[in-house]
Amino acid sequence: MSATLERAGLHVESVGAGPPLVLLHGWAMHSGLFGPLLPGLADRFRVHAVDLPGHGRSQAAAPDTLDGYVDAVARSIGAREALTVLGWSFGGQVALRWASREGDRVTRLVLVCTSPRFVAAPDWPHAMAAATLARFGDDLVSDWRQTLLRFLTLQVQGSDEGRRALAHLRRQLFARGDPKRSSIAAALRVLAATDLRAEVRSVTAPALAIAGERDTLAPAAAGAWLARAMPDARFARIDGAAHAPFLSHRAAFDRALAGFLHDAG
Catalytic residue among 11, 215, 248, 249: 215
- What DSSP state is assigned to residue 214? T
Q: Are 47 and 23 in contact (CB under 8 A)?
A: yes
Q: Is 183 a catalytic residue?
A: no
89 noted as active-site residue: yes
- The active-site residue out of 30, 126, 243, 249 is 243
Number of Cα atoms under 13 Å in the Cβ half of residue 245: 33
215 is catalytic: yes
Q: Determine which one of 14, 58, 89, 248 is catalytic.
A: 89
Which helix (DSSP H) or strand (DSSP E) does residue 154 occupy?
helix 130-156
Phi, psi of 224 (to 5 degrees): -65, -40
Q: Which of 113, 102, 105, 96 is nearest to 29 (CA)?
A: 113
DSSP single-letter state for residue 51: P
d(CA 8, CA 29): 19
Catalytic residues: 89, 215, 243
